[in-house]
A and B are shown apart, each in its own frame.
Chain A
Amino acid sequence: MNEASTTSITTDDSFTTSAGKQLGLYTLYALLGLAALIYMLSVAAGNTGSDTSGGAISVERNSITITLREEPPQLDAGRATDASSFVVLAHVMEGLIGYDDNDQLIPGVAERWEIREDGATFWLRDDAMWSDGQPVTAHDFEFGWKRVLDPATAAEYSFIMYSIKNAEAINQGELPKEMLAVTATTDKILDIEFERPTPYFDKLVAFNTFFPLREDFYESTNGRYGADADMMLYNGPYVVEEWVHGSTMLWTKNPYYWSDEKGFLDEIVTAYITQDVNAKLNLFKDGQIVDTHLVAPMLPTAMEQRWQIDRVMDGTVFFLEFNHREDRVTDNLNFRKALQLAQDPTELVYKVLKEAGYLPAESLFPVWIQGVEDVFRKEYPPQEHQMNLTLAREHLEMARRELGLEEFPPIIFLSGDTPVSLLAAEYYQELYRQNLGLEIRIDAQIFKQRLAKMTSGDFDIVLAGWGPDYFDALTFGDLFASWNLNNRGRYDSEEMDRQVRIAQSELDPRKRMDAFGEIQRIVYDDVIVIPMYERGWSFVVDPRLKGFKRRSVGPETDYNYAYIDVSGN
């Protein structure tokens, strides 16, 4: 880098000219070489991905192009746990019961069913077929469910089957899996005995873990079931025709699918795997994908483009969860009351986060949960919340005296590392410093570390969220039962446990809903959590695509009812 020495050289124009020519010649060589190299590389690249420049919609091929959030880890429905897998599985598999485009239960492989106090029976339709043309039978469900509960399968969602008789014991390795009380009485009749009454069993079986699996095919894959396109058997409206890992997937219409009310497209191409919302927006603008969701800073662009912006609740509720373990200040009810009274989620949602589609949360139960006849929140309105600083400070003072403290220690506030969580965490830090004079220490962690700390109880307050697995209030309602492992703050009360037991097993719908109403009240009165917001998405869809749906429960994006309409209506 010693440039001082160069000043001794006098500039020699004729030298520069001829050397410059030589350099020009080299540049030409370099360009030629580069062109040759690019050609060779493009041949090599042909083997690592497929051409995806088909555009968002191809009318001639009756096909659409979409994105996936992540590469599905694998497509074995019994073991799937992530949102991307759920999206793919919702299109290529079908359970006994499904959801229509208004989130109402509709027959799937089962043509009708009966839920009793002690068990259930499903009658399977005759025309449900696997993608190799063989009929879907009750044995395929029996085999699939027993495999999920087999300890060797190590299925994380196996707990969702625990209402079946002996399921839990089998999963713990205490009973052989043959003892599971699921019997294929005939090829078309599936009989189930319950461990305890389970009035919501019909909603459960719509979940991925309950999808069928055919024994002979499963055995033929040598433990690689779900790992590749040809390592699966399908019974949904589409099949995975091609799967280039990490890159693209091609779903085509399943010719053996029984219903003509689903699966109108010939091809669905998942051409891009990306979580980058900006990249997705660019792809959408460029006409390469049919839909994308938007975050707040993108809304002006979307308005400028005159796109039709839709909104949907994502289903998840986010809340401040307290650590109820005995050695924590947050175990003190007056302390929690103080924090509850000193905040108002409306301010967080509308003034701080400003994400379109987010709602201030008023209850553990989101707005879309169904009650007996109407929406749950209409039948059982949540407790009215008023911010009250005077009262909040009184409760804080009571807490200080009860705990025998001179001053409160710094409160450890565990949060995720996403922009929204960090923003929320900083908001509460400032809010509680100003309103209550508390010192909050934010501990931002990546996903797995945050979970580890939540599980071991290494926090005072954690920014947590809960999303639904099935379309019933219980998917939220049993969260704070003392035995629920997801109750990471270890809240423990007899009254709560009693209400959860009623909610699990009560056959009378009204009494059952009353229990959920009680649960909602306990969550507020006992300040188990402070609800923050319900997450929603703003999204845009290509105007030529109709029938597309984003769901709160089940697959986040659903193309089962989607079709192309170029008439412009």
Chain B
Amino acid sequence: MWLYVIKRLLQGIVTVWFIATATFFAMHNVPGDPLLNDRAVTEAIRANLEAKYGLDQPIGTQYLIYLRNLSQGDFGISFTQENREVNDIIREHFPVSAILGILAVVFAAAGGVLFGALTALYRNRLPDYIIMFLVILGISVPSFVVAALSQLTLVTLNSAVGTTVLPVAGWGTILHMLVPAMVLGLGTMAYLTRLMRSSMLEVISSDFVRTAKSKGVPPARIFAKHQLRNAILPVITVLGPAIAAITTGGFVVELVFAIPGLGRYFVQAVQQLDYTVIMGTTVFYGAFLVFMVIVVDVLYGFIDPRVRLE
């Protein structure tokens, strides 16, 4: 078991190194120039800027310097946020994305499992039709539409009540989080509902459920122990990547609700060719994703004893 974990972690490190290398060279080959700005600068100023960011070195040397700093956990200084270290940007803004992400994932997972089980239980009946209709909506409507619509609803709600029931945007209190987290988790919730429903339906018709029923096991116990617990496995599988996707993919929601998360930096860095921030956020998110996948694999062993980790 521990050997397995260590092996997976080592593989993970190689994966992250690969991500870092690929991003590094891809980034340097993107047309455009991180030091170009509205006002053109003279050769001399440009040389000063290049020296400051180490861009005057050959690309191979830059890569080696980068790897050395990376191994010490130093991502360097941002090109656009000139006095801030990338480490600081990640440290200050990732918690925001993470808090929002955790809440969204919990919304998504709890809702997905419960609605999935519900639709399977009442399959081809009214609750099933209603929820599955909403699920299709949830999957197909993009998050920027949902975000804008829900914000508009909040404005209408607040003006109808005459006071601020829920804030329209911003960050800081629990009230600021609820709506953005729901918007962020909606797509995943819809996806998990579908997944849970089909997985439940498969389990319901399996032999061990029929055996349990014929043995006279109480229905609530069959539902909880035999059906739910077996049906939830595929949901756990996609949950790992889903957590990473939600935590890293909140850019639109962060923008609309003016939330100071890392997603904004991630996207803006690419547009502004902020080399150090691109590298920092990509490697960080990459490592996070790899780590989540490993965690899910290990969790498997606990949830399903049939999976042996060796």
Known: A247-B260, A448-B36, A455-B36. A279 touches B174 (CB 8 A): no
**What is the 8 Å Cβ interface bit string for chain B, positions 108-132, against chain A (1 contact, 0 not)?**
0010001001100111000000000
Task: Please indicate the chain B residues that have their CB under 8 angstroms from the CB of A276 in the complex.
Answer: 255-256, 258
- Tell me the minimal C-beta distance from A3 to chain B in angstroms: 6
- Tell me the minimal C-beta distance from B155 to chain A in angstroms: 5
Known: A19-B220, A285-B155. A245 touches B202 (CB 8 A): no
- Is B6 in the interface zone, CB < 8 Å from A? no
Task: Please indicate the chain B residues that have their CB under 8 angstroms from the CB of A253 in the complex.
Answer: none
* A536 CA to B96 CA, complexed, in Å: 36
- Tell me the minimal C-beta distance from B24 to chain A in angstroms: 18
**What is the 8 Å Cβ interface bit string for chain B, positions 30-63, against chain A (1 contact, 0 not)?**
1111101111111011011101100000000000
- Tell me the minimal C-beta distance from A94 to chain B in angstroms: 22
- Tell me the minimal C-beta distance from B124 to chain A in angstroms: 9
* A369 CA to B47 CA, complexed, in Å: 35
Q: Which of B47, B219, B258 contacts A273 (CB 8 A)?
A: B258
Interchain CB contact under 8 A, A49 and B260 = yes
- Which chain A residues (24-47) contact chain B, with CB distance < 8 Å? 26-27, 30, 33-34, 37-39, 41-42, 44-47
Known: A22-B220, A154-B49. A485 touches B41 (CB 8 A): yes
* A247 CA to B89 CA, complexed, in Å: 12
Interchain CB contact under 8 A, B39 and A23 = no
Interchain CB contact under 8 A, A53 and B45 = no
User: How big is the B interface, by class?
Assistant: 35 or more
- Is A534 in the interface zone, CB < 8 Å from B? no
Interchain CB contact under 8 A, A49 and B171 = yes
Task: Please indicate the chain A residues that have their CB under 8 angstroms from the CB of B245 in the complex.
Answer: none
Interchain CB contact under 8 A, A152 and B106 = no
In the complex, residue of chain A having the shortest beta-carbon distance to the beta carbon of B103: A41
- Which chain B residues (188-247) contact chain A, with CB distance < 8 Å? 198, 201-202, 204-205, 213, 218-220, 222-224, 227
Task: Please indicate the chain B residues that have their CB under 8 angstroms from the CB of A1 in the complex.
Answer: 198
Known: A49-B96, A157-B39, A246-B93. A224 touches B83 (CB 8 A): yes
Of A6, A55, A467, most buried by chain B (CB within 10 Å of CB) is A6
Task: Please indicate the chain B residues that have their CB under 8 angstroms from the CB of A47 in the complex.
Answer: 95
- Is B82 in the interface zone, CB < 8 Å from A? yes
- Is A107 in the interface zone, CB < 8 Å from B? no
User: How big is the A interface, by class?
Assistant: 35 or more
Task: Please indicate the chain B residues that have their CB under 8 angstroms from the CB of A231 in the complex.
Answer: 83
**What is the 8 Å Cβ interface bit string for chain A, positions 435-453, against chain B (1 contact, 0 not)?**
0000000000111110111
- Is B271 in the interface zone, CB < 8 Å from A? yes
- Is A522 in the interface zone, CB < 8 Å from B? no
- Tell me the minimal C-beta distance from A554 to chain B in angstroms: 16
In the complex, residue of chain B having the shortest beta-carbon distance to the beta carbon of A469: B39
Interchain CB contact under 8 A, B118 and A452 = no
**What is the 8 Å Cβ interface bit string for chain A, positions 58-85, against chain B (1 contact, 0 not)?**
0000000001000101101001010000
- B162-170, B292-300, B301-309: which one contacts chain A? B162-170
Interchain CB contact under 8 A, B173 and A45 = yes
Task: Please indicate the chain A residues that have their CB under 8 angstroms from the CB of B92 in the complex.
Answer: 48, 245-246
Q: Which of B84, B167, B171, B255 contacts A227 (CB 8 A)?
A: B84
- Tell me the minimal C-beta distance from A230 to chain B in angstroms: 13
- Is A493 in the interface zone, CB < 8 Å from B? no
Interchain CB contact under 8 A, B148 and A278 = yes
Q: Which of A16, A49, A55, A279 contacts B172 (CB 8 A)?
A: A49
Task: Please indicate the chain A residues that have their CB under 8 angstroms from the CB of B201 in the complex.
Answer: 3, 5-6
Residues of B at the A interface (CB closer than 8 Å) are 30-34, 36-42, 44-45, 47-49, 51-52, 78, 80-84, 88-89, 92-93, 95-96, 99, 102-103, 106-107, 110, 114, 117-118, 121-123, 148, 151-152, 154-155, 158-159, 164, 167-178, 198, 201-202, 204-205, 213, 218-220, 222-224, 227, 255-258, 260, 264-265, 271-273
Interchain CB contact under 8 A, A51 and B102 = no
Interchain CB contact under 8 A, B198 and A173 = no
- Is A488 in the interface zone, CB < 8 Å from B? yes
Task: Please indicate the chain B residues that have their CB under 8 angstroms from the CB of A273 in the complex.
Answer: 258, 260
Interchain CB contact under 8 A, A282 and B271 = no
Interchain CB contact under 8 A, B205 and A8 = yes
Known: A14-B219, A18-B220. A48 touches B171 (CB 8 A): yes
Task: Please indicate the chain A residues that have their CB under 8 angstroms from the CB of B117 in the complex.
Answer: 23, 26
Task: Please indicate the chain A residues that have their CB under 8 angstroms from the CB of B176 in the complex.
Answer: 45, 49
- Tell me the minimal C-beta distance from B179 to chain A in angstroms: 12
Known: A49-B172, A245-B260. A156 touches B37 (CB 8 A): yes
Interchain CB contact under 8 A, B114 and A247 = no
Task: Please indicate the chain B residues that have their CB under 8 angstroms from the CB of A37 in the complex.
Answer: 102-103, 106
